[in-house]
Amino acid sequence: MSNPASNTELRDATPETGVPAAREPRGARRKRETRLRLLSAALRLMAEKGMEGVAINEITEAADVGLGSFYNHFESKEAIHAALSDWVFEEFADNLDRLTSELTDPAEVVAVSVRHTLLRAQREPVWGRFLIREGLSARALNRGLGPRLLRDIQKGIACKRFSADDPFMSVLTVGGAVLAAAAVELHVSSPGTPPGDASVLAGFTEDRFAERAAASLLQTLGLARNEAVDVANRPLPAPLATG
């Protein structure tokens, strides 16, 4: 995600119109591409500085579009932030739903979701930083990933796969731990990060980090250690499509 509008970013944000790009009217295509360039620019900037730290003119400059074009698509900075949050969280949550649609074990569904979240955050640091910054916001908890996680935990409790008895607190525990794990991974992998010495980060290792995180969280939800480790290390169903 280093260019203003990479192919991956554009594919991720493109709505399902059912019309092949080659046959899309030129005006509609330009309008769509401009909107996606604005979203891509906003993602990079807001992942780094948050919505409050970014000005509209910074977004338009990064997207290389005129200020008037911004207002053709979004009425305010808050509006593009809301659209960006829906793009990041809804798109990824939909992918997770497709990926886990054939799994019947709620524990495996949670493990796969945790692993793919951490793997994508490591693979796409800009996406990961935005997730860390916004993942526990009211919008994220009420749309996209939050409701899916609540649903999966409730299923696990209902079938007695999980012994946790407070779904809401379990969502906060799992969600917060995933964001913390992603933050540690991105921090340690950042260029120029000094060695951890005697700090907590000194114990970090990349060796099956996502699987270890998933196993730990499954234990928090009530699985025995050996079973949690087994579930967390099962082969992933398929690569997660991100573009």
Stated as kind and residue range, the H or E segment containing 212 is helix 209-221
Backbone angles phi and psi of 156, in degrees to 5: -65, -35
What's the rounded Cα separation, in Å, for the pair 24 and 28?
Answer: 7
pLDDT, position 157? 97
State residue 21's pLDDT score: 52
Q: From the options 1.10.10.60, 1.10.357.10, 3.90.1490.10, 3.10.450.50, give the CATH code of 82-232.
A: 1.10.357.10
Question: Helices in 24-137 by DSSP H: which ranges?
Answer: 26-49, 56-63, 67-73, 77-99, 106-123, 125-134
Q: For 168-213, write each residue's pLDDT tens digit.
A: 999 999 999 999 999 998 887 665 555 555 466 666 778 899 999 9
pLDDT tens figures, 22-81: 566 777 788 889 999 999 999 999 999 999 999 999 999 999 999 999 999 999 999 999
Q: How many helices (H) and strands (E) does the chain have?
A: 12, 0
Q: How confident is the model at residue 239 (pLDDT cuts 50, 70, 90)?
A: low
- The domain segmentation of the chain, as residue ranges, is 7-74, 82-232
Q: Which CATH class is domain 7-74?
A: mainly alpha
Picking from 126, 157, 133, 177, the residue whose alpha carbon sits closest to that of residue 222 is: 157
Query: Could you report the per-residue pLDDT of 79-118, keeping only the tens digit for each?
Result: 999 999 988 888 899 999 999 999 999 999 999 999 999 9
Asked whether 103 and 109 are in contact (CB, 8 A), the reply is: yes
H or E element that contains 218? helix 209-221
End-to-end alpha carbon distance in the chain: 12
State residue 144's pLDDT score: 79
State residue 116's pLDDT score: 95
- Which of residues 10 and 228 earns the better pLDDT score? 228
Task: Confirm whether 7-74 and 82-232 share one CATH topology.
Answer: no
Number of residues in the chain: 243
Q: Can you give the pLDDT at residue 2?
A: 36
Of the two residues 201 and 150, the one the predictor is more confident about is: 150
